Amino acid sequence: MTGEGRLVLAGAPIGQAGDVSPRLREALAAADVVAAEDTRRLRRLATELGVEIGGRVVSYYDQNEAGRAQELVEALKQGRTVVVITDAGMPGVSDPGYRLTHLAVESGITVTALPGPSAVTTALAVSGLASDRFCFEGFPPRKTGDRARRLSALAAEERTMVFFEAPHRLADSLAAMAGAFGADRPAAVCRELTKTYEEVRRGGLGELAEWAAGGVKGEITVVVAGHVPGAGEPDMDELVAEVDRRVAEGEQRRTAIADVAKGAGVPRRELYDLVHKRIG
């Protein structure tokens, strides 16, 4: 049975409170329930906007998302308007929101969105890289082996790729990307977008990895150029070095060779022979 409630996914500013729309101000003031990733941050935003939140404010973050989503669906079924807002950007895009949206859709509840600033498209726009076709890959896996396998699978991706990353993992991720995509693959690291200390650093992945090794702070979005077919033969020495790096980190040599060869589009046997020639 379709409820009369309405779920509103509200895009939050990624750095400047002045970027919010009049519709977001109205939604926060009129909602029956506001589900916020960080209730204190929501209160600060409301104060900056001069908005008085009239409805109930509840927390809605990664650790309580599963249980809280069901509670919010019940409120929606009772005809309530529920606004979901995260710390920055659009709910559900590497932030809480997907589970609740999925349950609401399954329950026949109206779901709408208030568009807002996005770190994904903002970084893509300022990167200087091709923006006609792109894909969003979220956060790379934290574990070294998982990350290497994910990146190897993307080595032949022709679309521009956008990633999020934590500052303390940035150098390792860029180094892994340089190994999987090539040290000269063009990329841009976008830091603190729209904020006071906004910085966009452009260059090859190898160069950017060296820069990040000195330490980077802030919210990070990484944009990487896609693979260009026929742009040149892969550097086999770089592929062998990537296999060696992955083996040193604990991955089985046979698995590393297969993954690196597949990602680079070279025969596995050719890379296998080169690796064993070096160690033999």
Q: For 225-254, how does the pLDDT look when each residue is reduced to its tens digit (9 = 90+)?
A: 999 876 656 678 888 888 888 888 888 888
Residues 191 and 166 in one domain: yes
- What is the pLDDT, as a whole number, of residue 105? 95
Q: DSSP letters along 105-121, please? A: HHTT-EEEEE----HHH
Residues 166 and 188 in one domain: yes
Residues 195 and 269 in one domain: no
- What is the pLDDT, as a whole number, of residue 280? 62
Between CA 276 and CA 273 the distance in angstroms is 5
Contact 17, 123 (CB under 8 A): no
How many Cα atoms are found within 13 Å in the side-chain-facing hemisphere of 248? 6
Is residue 263 over pLDDT 80? Answer: no
Residues 20 and 112 in one domain: yes
Count CB-CB contacts under 10 A for residue 220. Answer: 23
> Which among 14, 16, 227 is positioned nearest to 117, based on CA atoms?
14
> Which among 190, 120, 198 is positioned nearest to 159, based on CA atoms?
120
**Residue where a domain stops, chosen among 117, 135, 167:** 117
Residues 134 and 38 in one domain: no
- What is the pLDDT, as a whole number, of residue 230? 66
Asked if the structure places residue 179 within a domain, the reply is yes
Beta strands 33-36; 81-85: pairing state: parallel
Asked if the structure places residue 108 within a domain, the reply is yes
Between CA 172 and CA 103 the distance in angstroms is 37
Between CA 215 and CA 125 the distance in angstroms is 25
Is residue 90 over pLDDT 60? Answer: yes
Q: How many domains does the chain have?
A: 3
Residues 58 and 112 in one domain: yes
Backbone angles phi, psi at 31, to 5 degrees: -65, 145
Residues 111 and 129 in one domain: no
Asked if the structure places residue 247 within a domain, the reply is yes
- What is the pLDDT, as a whole number, of residue 2? 47
For 166-188, write each residue's pLDDT tens digit: 999 999 999 999 999 999 999 99
Between CA 113 and CA 7 the distance in angstroms is 8
Contact 28, 34 (CB under 8 A): yes
pLDDT band with cut points at 50, 70 and 90 for residue 268: confident
Residues 14 and 107 in one domain: yes
Q: What CATH number is given to the structural domain containing 129?
A: 3.30.950.10
**pTM for this structure?**
0.79
Asked if the structure places residue 229 within a domain, the reply is no
**Residue where a domain stops, chosen among 117, 135, 169:** 117
Residues 133 and 166 in one domain: yes
Domain of 252 in residue numbering reads as 236-279
Alpha helices by DSSP H, listed for the chain, are 22-30, 39-49, 65-77, 98-106, 119-127, 144-153, 170-181, 205-212, 236-248, 253-264, 268-279
Residues 135 and 214 in one domain: yes
Mean pLDDT confidence for 43-60: 94
Q: What is the dihedral of CA 199, 200, 203, 208, to 10 degrees?
A: 50
Residues 126 and 97 in one domain: no
Mean pLDDT confidence for 201-219: 96
Residues 112 and 145 in one domain: no
Mean pLDDT confidence for 38-51: 94
**Residue where a domain stops, chosen among 88, 117, 146:** 117
Using alpha carbons only, give the angle 192, 198, 203 rounded to the nearest 5 degrees: 95
Asked if the structure places residue 230 within a domain, the reply is no
